[in-house]
Amino acid sequence: MTKSVDILIIGSGISALFFAIKTAIKCPNKSILILTKSSKDNNSTRYAQGGIAIVTDFIKDDFTNHIEDTLRAGKYTNKLEVVEMVIKQAPERLEELIRFNIDFDKNPDGTWNLGLEGGHSQHRILHHKDISGLEIERKLLQKLKDFPNISLNENTAVLNLTQNNKNCIGVFYYDRKSKTTDFIFSNVTVLCTGGCGQVFKRTTNPEIATGDGLAMAHKIGAEIQDMHNIQFHPTALYEKNKNQYFLISEAVRGFGAYIINQKGERFVFKHDVRGELATRDIVSEAIETEMKKNGTEFVYLDCRHLDENEFNNHFPTIVAYCNNIGLSPKTDLIPIFPVAHYQCGGIVVDKNSQTTVPRLFAIGECSYTGLHGNNRLASNSLLEALVYAHQCSEYLVDNNEIFTSPKIENHPLPSFQISTNNNNLQATEIRQKLQKIITQGFLNQLPLDFAKERITEIYEETKLLASSNIKNLETVELENMTIVATLIIDAKIQYSKLTSTNFP
């Protein structure tokens, strides 16, 4: 692999690919390398069902409505100037997606078929059936091939960010195919490493979502904010013994589905007049309360009254998944429960995605921009990734001096050996222990101070394991997860002094 590049991108979801393409168009002479720890399409992006929130119907809707919905969902803790920037820029980013051949569903009269989701006062979600993220991921990966200055290495896990003289100067990585480690140097490093759902016992996030980028940035001193703002999605499909859980998109409730308890009663209205279309924090809290009251592990989503043909047409993937496990949305109730879904906090960035560490940028779910405040409005995250990829790309084009290599002081760079032994039972046990404690702590099922003590013990256990001879990718991820769990619980302890709700 090349030893040095102009721009190094970590991750291959929407943030990474959109940023790479936009930058390659404007900077054909800059070398751009994407490293991604699994296969190129293994990320949260490919699982996005609902779509992207963008104001397109300026007769029924306008930017002010979308801005107000975003602020209301975020409990007015969002950064107003960021909310305005993202929402007003959205139509331009949509035009680019269309130029990159991404298809969104249209009505027979040629207008956009816009979905409705919780917290939105208008239909404004552009979608591609119920596989919007997969459509975006596939088409961006296809587009990437047009640019000879972009290379992509799969199965390459970044283990550490390399720092010199305060600057981030590249990374230390593990190539899972050749089973070797090495450094790569870069003028600019961009974290697009996604969220941290796997830290929890129950999540919609794929197994790559272990918060690596956040933990690595924290280790080199980047500012992190609002990690207590983990959004739980109220309607993951309940199944025994798994983690990643299949998501039943919010758009299904937008389409008219009800949430009912074991007695067949709709109960979300007791918590909010918007009922099933309240924001995710409110619906999740309502479900958790109902499950606790009735001593159950799930409630139900009821789609039986909805038009079968239209439902099948809108949600073919959800129907197929349910059918596959022996459920029919037309005749059966679908068991659902809230699970960790989205990290609203993260690595603090400015409007150009610059972190507090020089030459280190962060885009997408790993970053904290201030857009979401306490709670993300549905379908605003793909949009945030697009807008910040644009902002970062423009910044680099306008600040060419950043591509002059930084002065490097000659001292040894931190590195370590990595074992190829992947059968690490001890790490798996510690990981499950961590997932259980942080989930119980987060849901206030355990005193926070107790959860904090247990997480500190787990961190010590992990460090011990990692310092023995069996440090492998699993233990590196585990270390990252314990760092992230500590950041979450510390922020939660701070936040709990202000409020007693489970979901911020």
Ligand X SMILES: Cc1cc2nc3c(=O)[nH]c(=O)nc-3n(C[C@H](O)[C@H](O)[C@H](O)COP(=O)(O)OP(=O)(O)OC[C@H]3O[C@@H](n4cnc5c(N)ncnc54)[C@H](O)[C@@H]3O)c2cc1C
Q: What number of other Cβ atoms are within 10 A of residue 168's Cβ?
A: 27
Q: Looking only at residues 383 through 422 of this chain, which bind ligand X when binding is defined by CB under 6 A?
A: 385
Question: Which residue in the list 124, 202, 280, 431 is annotated as catalytic?
Answer: 280
The alpha-helical segments, DSSP class H, found in 399-447 are 425-442
Contact between 231 and 342 (Cβ < 8 Å): yes
| Least gap, CB of 222 to ligand X (angstroms) | 15
For ligand X, the binding residue among 61, 212, 276, 288 (CB under 6 A) is 212
Nearer to ligand X, 208 or 299 (CB): 208
Nearer to ligand X, 74 or 364 (CB): 364
Cα three-residue angle 418-421-426, rounded to 5 degrees: 100
| Least gap, CB of 29 to ligand X (angstroms) | 25
Q: Which residue is nearest to ligand X (CB)?
A: 13
Contact between 485 and 198 (Cβ < 8 Å): no
Tokens of 128: 């591609």
Nearer to ligand X, 389 or 451 (CB): 389
Nearer to ligand X, 209 or 303 (CB): 209
Partnered with residue 150 across adjacent β-strands are 32
Q: Looking only at residues 354 through 383 of this chain, which bind ligand X when binding is defined by CB under 6 A?
A: 364-365, 379-382
Measured distance between the N- and C-terminal CA atoms of the chain, rounded to whole angstroms: 44
The alpha-helical segments, DSSP class H, found in 203-361 are 212-219, 250-254, 280-294, 308-314, 316-324
| Least gap, CB of 114 to ligand X (angstroms) | 13
Give the H/E segment covering residue 110: none
Measured CA to CA, the distance from residue 468 to residue 472 in angstroms comes to: 10
Measured CA to CA, the distance from residue 69 to residue 63 in angstroms comes to: 10
For ligand X, the binding residue among 104, 258, 300, 342 (CB under 6 A) is 342
Nearer to ligand X, 78 or 205 (CB): 205
Q: Looking only at residues 127 through 166 of this chain, which bind ligand X when binding is defined by CB under 6 A?
A: 132-133, 157-158
| Least gap, CB of 407 to ligand X (angstroms) | 27
| Least gap, CB of 503 to ligand X (angstroms) | 17
Contact between 442 and 452 (Cβ < 8 Å): no
Chain centroid, CA 82 distance in Å: 18
Is 44 a binding residue for ligand X by CB under 6 A? The answer is yes
Nearer to ligand X, 250 or 461 (CB): 250
Nearer to ligand X, 36 or 486 (CB): 36
SS3 of the chain: helix, strand, coil, percent, to 5: 40, 20, 40
| Least gap, CB of 137 to ligand X (angstroms) | 8
Measured CA to CA, the distance from residue 230 to residue 483 in angstroms comes to: 15
Q: What number of other Cβ atoms are within 10 A of residue 210's Cβ?
A: 27
Q: At what angle do helices 132-144 and 14-26 cross, to 10 degrees?
A: 30
- Residue 280 is among the residues annotated as catalytic for this protein: yes
Q: DSSP letter at 389? A: H
| Least gap, CB of 8 to ligand X (angstroms) | 11
Measured CA to CA, the distance from residue 305 to residue 316 in angstroms comes to: 17
Q: Looking only at residues 12 through 41 of this chain, which bind ligand X when binding is defined by CB under 6 A?
A: 12-16, 35-38
Is 45 a binding residue for ligand X by CB under 6 A? The answer is yes
Measured CA to CA, the distance from residue 342 to residue 233 in angstroms comes to: 8
| Least gap, CB of 353 to ligand X (angstroms) | 11
Question: What is the Rg, in whole angstroms, of the alpha carbon atoms belonging to the chain?
Answer: 22
Binding window for ligand X (CB under 6 A); candidates: 10-18, 326-334, 392-400, 487-495: 10-18
How many chain residues are in contact with ligand X, going by CB under 6 A? 42
| Least gap, CB of 151 to ligand X (angstroms) | 14
Nearer to ligand X, 167 or 210 (CB): 210
Binding window for ligand X (CB under 6 A); candidates: 11-19, 86-94, 403-411, 432-440: 11-19
Is 237 a binding residue for ligand X by CB under 6 A? The answer is no
HSE value, Cβ hemisphere, 13 Å, CA-based, for 105: 20
Nearer to ligand X, 34 or 286 (CB): 34
| Per-residue contact string for residues 432-471; x = within reach of ligand X by CB under 6 A | ----------------------------------------
Q: Looking only at residues 177 through 206 of this chain, which bind ligand X when binding is defined by CB under 6 A?
A: 192-194, 204-205
For ligand X, the binding residue among 5, 7, 30, 43 (CB under 6 A) is 43
Give the H/E segment covering residue 453: helix 448-467
Strands 299-302 and 258-260: antiparallel
Which amino acids are annotated catalytic?
280
In the complex, the residues that contact ligand X under the rule CB under 6 A are: 10-16, 35-38, 42-45, 47-52, 132-133, 157-158, 192-194, 204-205, 208, 212-213, 247, 342, 364-365, 379-382, 385
